[in-house]
């Protein structure tokens, strides 16, 4: 069922005692996510309580993993310390680290990427909404939600969603759910120029996942990740893919919202990405409101 995370995935929250981390830890617990530990240096031995759930807090990720068996983490740590938090999860041997933090210095992320070479850990983000594999309960509760995505919009099903934009991820999911169509897993990979998981990484996993029958891929201006994914889809993907590219009206050289959403040197334009999508047989939605309908017509 889905990719990367499942309802039985054990999750720890780095930064659980901060207001933002605490709020989303509560929402994940309410969704049914197996939140088994929190990590805040200096607050080990304390307990995070929510609706009868008692989540132990540890000083380090390594200790939290050893004591609880956690395999995935969500990073809600301020930008200045987030790179170290990511690498702490890598050093502890977690399967997955989801970095929600926005504003991590690019140089810090370059160092993180270099340090992660050959590591077993997969990084999603930073500056991302995270990942959701919906469950089968009411409002898809009982699934796994790591990050900040609104759980109630999801529905268990067979469409994979991957996006650089958090807001457009939610829009695609809600369009599908309103049509009675569920999702296998929804992955927000984030909008920073240096990130851990690309469109292509996720597309390959969806292509191999028997529970995913169709894919929505949402990109935006800047970089070449969408073109690389489209080229692979053209050659290898066995499932229908619909796509949307945000930023068609953005002026060259001006950063638009996401740190990675910038056209420079004539590369990364919306026109080039849309052309690559069409050449790969990807159904292109001309507006965000058409994302779900474009895929469903293909299917």
* Annotation says 258 is catalytic: yes
What is the three-class DSSP state of 259? Answer: coil
C-alpha distance from residue 116 to each of 75, 94, 192, 195 (Å): 16, 12, 17, 11
Rounded Cα gap, residues 246 and 289, in angstroms: 12
Rounded Cα gap, residues 104 and 93, in angstroms: 22
Strands 53-58 and 34-39: what pairing?
Answer: parallel
- The single residue of 154, 158, 199, 258 carrying the catalytic annotation is 258
C-alpha distance from residue 205 to each of 82, 185, 218, 264, 281 (Å): 27, 10, 16, 30, 19
Which pair of tokens denotes residue 134? Answer: 């919906």
What is the three-class DSSP state of 1? Answer: coil
Q: Which residues belong to the active site? A: 258
């Amino acid at each position: 069922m889905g990719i990367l995370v499942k309802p039985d995935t054990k999750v720890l929250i780095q930064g659980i005692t901060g207001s933002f981390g605490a709020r989303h830890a509560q929402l994940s617990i309410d969704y049914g996510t197996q939140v088994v530990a929190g990590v805040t240096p200096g607050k080990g031995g304390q307990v995070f309580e929510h609706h009868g759930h008692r989540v132990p807090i540890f000083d380090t990720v390594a200790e939290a993993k050893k004591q609880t068996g956690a395999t995935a983490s969500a990073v809600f740590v301020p930008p200045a310390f987030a790179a170290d938090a990511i690498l702490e999860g890598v050093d502890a041997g977690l399967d997955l680290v989801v970095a929600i933090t926005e504003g991590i210095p690019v140089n810090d992320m370059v160092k993180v990427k270099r340090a992660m070479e050959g590591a077993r850990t997969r990084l999603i983000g930073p500056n991302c909404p995270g990942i959701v594999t919906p469950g089968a309960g009411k409002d898809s509760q009982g699934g796994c939600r790591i990050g900040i995505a609104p759980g109630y919009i999801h529905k268990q099903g067979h469409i994979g969603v991957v996006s650089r934009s958090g807001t457009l991820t939610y829009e695609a999911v809600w369009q599908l759910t309103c049509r009675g169509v569920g999702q296998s897993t929804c992955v927000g990979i984030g909008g920073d120029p240096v990130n851990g998981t690309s469109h292509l990484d996720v597309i390959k996993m969806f292509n191999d996942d028997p529970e995913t029958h169709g894919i929505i891929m949402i990109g935006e201006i800047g970089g070449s990740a969408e073109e690389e994914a489209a080229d692979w889809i053209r050659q290898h993907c066995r499932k229908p893919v619909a796509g949307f590219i945000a930023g068609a009206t953005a002026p060259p050289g001006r950063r638009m919202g996401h740190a990675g959403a910038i056209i420079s040197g004539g590369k990364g334009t919306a026109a080039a990405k849309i052309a690559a999508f069409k050449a790969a047989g990807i159904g292109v939605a001309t507006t965000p409101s058409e994302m779900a309908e474009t895929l469903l017509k293909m299917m």
